[in-house]
Amino acid sequence: MTGASDCRGIPVSYPVVSAIEGLDRAQEMSLAFRGDSVAEIDKVIAEHPSFIMAHLFKAATLTQAMETRIYGDMVKAVQDAENLISNGNDREKGHLAAVKCWIEGDFFGAVQCWEAVLTQYPLDLFALQLVHYTDVLLGDVVGQRDVVARVFNLWDEGIPGFEFVLGFYSFGLEENRDFMHAEEMGRRALAMRPDNPYAVHAVAHVMEMKGRHSGGIRFMNDHAVRWGTSNFANHLWWHTSLFHLDIDDIDPVFEIYDNHLCSADSSGDKYEELDASALLWRLQLLDVDVGERWKNLADKWERSAADTLYAFNDVHAMMTFVSDNRTDAAKTLLTANERYVENASDANVAMSREIGIPFCVAIQDFKTGKYGDCVDHLLPVRYMTHRLGGSFAQRDVIGWTLLEAALRARRFDLALGLANERTALKPTSVQNWRYVARAFRGLGDRSNADRADARAQSLFAA
């Protein structure tokens, strides 16, 4: 059989138009966070079991879940593709090499394989999507931007999916603090397609990092009707809650948590649980009573206490365990991680050893009132936190925990320096100026404390 191509002209070895259209449809669903792209590709596979790229799409899409519960399905999809690969083309063989690296725990090797595919096929939107998303998971900040930059000039508005490329570029630019360029790209993407959640996400990050809280709340509320109902929509609600939190507007934060981050679903989808844990922990750092909310969340996390699949997950699980006084679950998590880093050699080992375990121990220290120990665990790694993965906005919880611990440990000189860093980056944050005030007050400098409090109050009133 001779090959065909997808909607962007990328070669596909399986020359059945309806199958290729089904693959394009599944990818569109994935990029737009609409529907279930894996269920959609399963329909395609059921009708076209010899469609190599359909199996590879399923396997590669499942890599991004970073959850043990999908591992069996991912491995089977890889095996099914491998059984067919003798009929595959070079592009498909590259995708297969990538997912084989992934199931062996070599996440960085998978990225290199996908990048090789993208070099040869710069309009392979699936390869671009996978490299960009994986760079976010792995904390490769520069890679998130540059993978798009390498191919961007070869794309234009006439190529299907360009609006998603703009969204990727926007986020990569934002994470590298090129905020003006990032916002331009994100708004271009939204002009092309208003229901583009990832572009909304990128612009929200710009506004968060710049401290544009009121504008951020308006922007998110204006676009909320087009977010859909996926867990990425929940993540956008989490971002909305951060705008409220930074200006000490707590009631909307609880409304968002209860309506969008606290489903009764016990499927184990970690994206919602990550956002929920991160939000409750921030509220706890502010000494806000969250009631019984930790219990339901800890119930969801406890089944994966010993997973050791992704350090980013583990630190958020630890937040729930210590906050709900689940000593056994916290011990299980730490013990599993300590054994894991001694015996494993996959990509997550370094993430866990360098950042994951120290942060988990620091979280435990914080909750038990060992604030000085918490500081001592976090201070040496504060400039390496990108290795945990996620975004600057997500990892800010580490710096926030360090600052609050320094204050409670009465290390006021350190706390003042940390708080000054935060106000330099985001001078419009009510919370940041309150931290400055608390540090000055601890140092006995009432005059400067009052000035910082006045600054916080003026921002709150605005």
Pick the CATH number of 1-135 from 3.30.310, 3.40.50, 2.10.270, 1.25.40: 1.25.40
- Pair of tokens at residue 15: 């020359």
Alpha helix stretches (DSSP H) within 261-356? 270-285, 293-302, 311-323, 327-343, 347-351
Tell me the three state secondary structure of residue 349. helix
Q: pTM of the prediction? A: 0.95
Assigned fold of 140-230: 1.25.40
Q: Fold match between 1-135 and 140-230?
A: yes
Q: What is the DSSP string of 209-278?
A: HHT-HHHHHHHHHHHGGGS-SSHHHHHHHHHHHHHHHHTT-HHHHHHHHHHHS--S--S--HHHHHHHHH
- For residue 38, the model assigns a pLDDT of 97
Q: What is the DSSP letter of 35?
A: S
Quote the CA–CA distance of 337 and 47 in Å, as a whole number: 42
Strand partners, 150: none
| Cβ atoms of residues 131 and 114 within 8 Å | yes
Report how far residue 91's alpha carbon sits from residue 102's, in angstroms, rounded to the nearest whole number. 17
Within 104-204, strands assigned E span none
59, 35 contact by CB (below 8 A): no
Q: How far apart are CA 34 and CA 231, in angstroms?
A: 10
Asked if 237 contacts 260 with a C-beta cutoff of 8 angstroms, the reply is yes
The rounded distance, in Å, linking the Cα atoms of 174 and 392 is 10
pLDDT at 219: 98
- The CATH code for residues 410-461 is 1.25.40.10
Phi, psi of 309 (to 5 degrees): -90, -35
| Domain extent listing, the chain | 1-135, 140-230, 410-461
Q: What are the pLDDT tens digits along the chain (462 aa)?
A: 456 999 999 999 999 999 999 999 999 999 999 999 999 999 999 999 999 999 999 999 999 998 888 999 999 999 999 999 999 999 999 999 999 999 999 999 999 999 999 999 999 999 999 999 999 999 999 999 999 999 999 999 999 999 999 999 999 999 999 999 999 999 999 999 999 999 999 999 999 999 999 999 999 999 999 998 888 999 999 999 999 999 999 999 999 999 999 876 655 567 889 999 999 999 999 999 999 999 999 999 999 999 998 999 999 999 999 999 999 999 999 999 999 999 988 889 999 999 999 999 999 999 999 999 999 999 999 999 999 999 999 999 999 999 999 999 999 999 999 999 999 999 999 999 999 999 999 999 999 999 999 999 998 766
